[in-house]
Structure 1
Amino acid sequence: MKLAYFVLPHVGGTYSVFKHLRAGLAVYGIDVRWFGTCRHGYELPAAMREEGLLGLLLEMPASLTEGACAKRMAEVIESEGFDGVVINVLGDRLQTNIARYLPEHILRILVVHSITPGTYAAARSIRDFAHATIGVSERCRTDLVERHGFPADRTYAIPNAVDTAAFREQEGRRVRAGPELRTLFVGRIEDTSKGVLWLREILDGLPETVSLTVVGDGPDMPKLKRRLAGHADRVRYTGTMPLALIPLAMAEHDVLIMPSRFEGFGLTLIEAMAGGCVPVVSHIRGVTDTIVENGKNGMLFPVGDYTVAANAVTRLHQDRDLLERMSFSARAIVPERYSIERMADRYYDVISSAMIGWPKLSPVLDIDSWSIPPGLRPGLRTYIPLPIKNWLRVVRERL
């Protein structure tokens, strides 16, 4: 069996999921290939060019309409012999909407990575054209079933995985923390979802012997650097880090700070735990609280409550025995719950169930009449000022 996984190679969570799924499903004889679309002239980042051997880059001339691009994409899926597709909802509008137009014999699996209203609206617009839907957390699945009409028997919660072997190789590098506590932020430097601008308030509440390493890049990096200028002597920026170096970064730090406003899952969270880096993270119902057992393998704080976050980090700084116990507990649960093998087993069960049962879906649409459903168009939420949006997200999670 051959599956197209819609994604372009990049340093980020979605592509990591592809790599892990490809490795895990190969055991079952399923060949998973990345499938990406781009405009003519696009080149893979230099660091990712070797990944080209694992997938297919479909260039689209700038002169083509979106409908013409969709038609070409569907033709290539057929000609390349793909039996099914894995669609990351809202990863790309073209690739999301193609679910409504692919031939009936092509297996269509949706993956929902986020808990935002926009993501759910997009998923709802193609719901009736999918053989199975996977939410990356129990929160995703519950919301889809209870609020958006997804069939309970074809909607699943499958957490993402980490390469536990890569983290085991770094265990010897972890040393008992000295006078300094080494904290870490890893992710896209973007405040709306990741809450990165709260890092200043968290550092304001921490002893001077607590340092921070910021790994990643994004649109809010200049703003973050300005806000952290007062702590310049204890903040280090590495920029985007190759995936292969993430296990080492986790092993070299004591505490991960993750002040997100919302997350569908939080791959960085389980990467930190796999490396023994104790997580201090926002309490996002049905997401982080299904991974972190507060006070045992990490600490949770209310979204946006930087005082509680700082107090949690300070407690770990002051009580190194507690830090060690939490580090051990964090490392212990990851191989059991979040291994590549476990994730692949569950995906295989979903694929097998869909292939055997082959649920009846809405009739596929005529690709020559390509259109964009409302859920994939900008909605009223687009016009809500960002500060109000952010405030509403905090209120929603705290309630």
Structure 2
Amino acid sequence: MKIAYFVLPHLGGTYTVFRHLRAGLAPDGIELCWLGLTLAGQGLPAGMEREAAFGTLVEATASDDGKSTARLMERAILAGGFDGVVVNVLSDRVQTNIVRYLPPYLLRLMVVHNITPGTYAAAEAIRPYVHATVCVSQRCRDDLVKRHQFPAGRTFVIANAVSLDAFPAADRPARPIGQGLRLLFLGRIEDASKGILWLPDILERLPASSTLTIAGDGPDLKRLKATMPGVTPRVVYTGAVAADAVPALLAAHDVFLMLSRYEGLPMALVEAMAAGCVPVASALRGVTDMIVENGQDGLLFPVGDTARAAAIVRALDKDRAQLHGLSLGARRKVAGAFTVERMAAQYAAVLRDIAANPPPLAAPLALDGWSMPRGLRAGLRTFLPSPLKNWLRGVRERL
């Protein structure tokens, strides 16, 4: 079986999932290849050139309304001899929409990576044209089945996972009191989803011995630096971090800060726990509490409660035995339930089931009539001021 996975190689969670799945599915005889979109002449993102061997790049023109790009994608899928496709909802709108136009013999699996209303609206728009839906967290599945009428028998939870081979099992020695905790933020430097602008307030509440590494890049990096109270060596910015450098980065830190307002199931959180870097994370129902058992393998705080987050870190600074115990628990949690082998086996089971017993789908649409359905167009929420949207997101999680 040969499957096209819609993603452009990049430093980020969605592509990390692809890499793990490609390796995990190969022993089952399932060949997974990426299929990505970019503008003509741009090529692969910097640092991703070696990934060319594992997929196909489709180049579109900037002035295209989507129809021409969709035709190029369809040709690439048919020329590649694929048996099916995996669409990552809203990672790209053209790639999300094209499943409504593909030939009926192609298997179609969609993956929902986030818990936002916009993501759910996009998923609902293409639901009649896919054979099954994979949700990366329990929250995603609960919302889609209970509120958006997704068929329970074809909507699955398969958590993102890591390869433990990349994370040595060596026990971390307990750091003595007096040596400040080494904190890490790893991910996209963006406030709306990641809550990155809460970091300065947290750091101001911590002992001067605590250090913070901010690893990643994104649109709010300049704003973050302008409001961050600490300077080198207390605060270090690394920029984007290559995937193969992530395990060592996590191993060099004690606490992983995850301040997100919303997520699906962030790869960085799973990776941190695999490395024994203790997560102090936003309590997102059905998301972070799906992997973090509060007080056993990490600690959770209400979304946006920077005072509580800082208090948790201060308590860990004073209780290194608890820090050590949480580190061991985090590693055990991932080893028991969030491995690539487990994730790949679950994906393989879904793919083989829909191949053997494909459920009926809506008839494919004609490409000549290409259009974006309402769920893939900008909605009212797009035009709300960012402070209001952020407030609404926080309220939703606290209710």
Give TM-score scaled by structure 1 length: 0.97
Query: Residue in 1 aligned with 2:278?
Result: 278
| Separation of aligned partners in 2, 1:362 and 1:160 | 29
Query: Residue in 2 aligned with 1:95?
Result: 95
Query: Residue in 1 aligned with 2:380?
Result: 380
| Separation of aligned partners in 2, 1:45 and 1:126 | 28
| Separation of aligned partners in 1, 2:162 and 2:389 | 32
Query: Residue in 2 aligned with 1:78?
Result: 78
Query: Residue in 1 aligned with 2:364?
Result: 364
Query: Residue in 2 aligned with 1:34?
Result: 34
- Deviation, structure 1 residue 230: 4.2
| Separation of aligned partners in 1, 2:174 and 2:236 | 21
| Separation of aligned partners in 1, 2:268 and 2:157 | 18
| Separation of aligned partners in 2, 1:116 and 1:286 | 13
| Separation of aligned partners in 2, 1:231 and 1:193 | 25
Query: Residue in 1 aligned with 2:66?
Result: 66
Q: Which range moves more in the overlay, 109-118 or 73-82?
A: 73-82
Query: Residue in 2 aligned with 1:52?
Result: 52
User: What SS class does the counterpart of residue 285 from structure 2 fall into?
Assistant: coil
8 Å contact 2:250–2:275 — kept in the other structure?
Answer: yes
**Could you tell me which amino acid in structure 1 is paired with residue 241 of structure 2?**
M
- Deviation, structure 1 residue 63: 5.8
Residue 199 of structure 2 is aligned to residue 199 of structure 1? yes
| Separation of aligned partners in 1, 2:180 and 2:63 | 57
8 Å contact 2:88–2:113 — kept in the other structure?
Answer: yes
User: What SS class does the counterpart of residue 168 from structure 1 fall into?
Assistant: coil
User: What SS class does the counterpart of residue 47 from structure 2 fall into?
Assistant: helix
- Deviation, structure 1 residue 269: 0.8
| Separation of aligned partners in 1, 2:184 and 2:282 | 15
- Deviation, structure 1 residue 229: 3.5
Residue 244 of structure 2 is aligned to residue 244 of structure 1? yes
RMSD between aligned residues: 1.2
- Deviation, structure 1 residue 46: 3.5
**Could you tell me which amino acid in structure 2 is paired with residue 111 of structure 1?**
V
Query: Residue in 2 aligned with 1:335?
Result: 335
**Could you tell me which amino acid in structure 2 is paired with residue 140 of structure 1?**
C
Query: Residue in 2 aligned with 1:115?
Result: 115
- 1:140-219 equivalence runs, <5 A: 140-168=140-168, 171=170, 174-178=172-176, 179-219=179-219
Query: Residue in 1 aligned with 2:352?
Result: 352
- Deviation, structure 1 residue 368: 1.2
- Deviation, structure 1 residue 72: 2.2
| Separation of aligned partners in 2, 1:75 and 1:149 | 33
8 Å contact 2:58–2:72 — kept in the other structure?
Answer: no
- Deviation, structure 1 residue 65: 4.0
**Could you tell me which amino acid in structure 1 is paired with residue 154 of structure 2?**
R
- Deviation, structure 1 residue 175: 3.8
| Separation of aligned partners in 2, 1:7 and 1:200 | 33
Residue 314 of structure 2 is aligned to residue 305 of structure 1? no
Query: Residue in 2 aligned with 1:14?
Result: 14
| Separation of aligned partners in 2, 1:186 and 1:230 | 18
Query: Residue in 2 aligned with 1:262?
Result: 262
User: What SS class does the counterpart of residue 27 from structure 1 fall into?
Assistant: helix
| Separation of aligned partners in 2, 1:245 and 1:94 | 32
Aligned length: 397
Q: Which range moves more in the overlay, 30-39 or 278-287?
A: 30-39
**Could you tell me which amino acid in structure 1 is paired with residue 174 of structure 2?**
R
| Separation of aligned partners in 1, 2:283 and 2:350 | 29
Superposed CA offset, 1:197-256 (max 9, x none): 101111111111111111001010011111114455411110101100110011111000
| Separation of aligned partners in 2, 1:89 and 1:385 | 24
Residues 323 and 230 of structure 1: is their aligned pair in 2 closer, same or farther, counting only changes over 3 Å?
closer
8 Å contact 2:255–2:280 — kept in the other structure?
Answer: yes
| Separation of aligned partners in 1, 2:68 and 2:367 | 9
| Separation of aligned partners in 2, 1:42 and 1:133 | 32
| Separation of aligned partners in 2, 1:93 and 1:176 | 47
| Separation of aligned partners in 1, 2:183 and 2:62 | 45
| Separation of aligned partners in 1, 2:63 and 2:185 | 42
| Separation of aligned partners in 1, 2:231 and 2:388 | 28
Query: Residue in 2 aligned with 1:292?
Result: 292
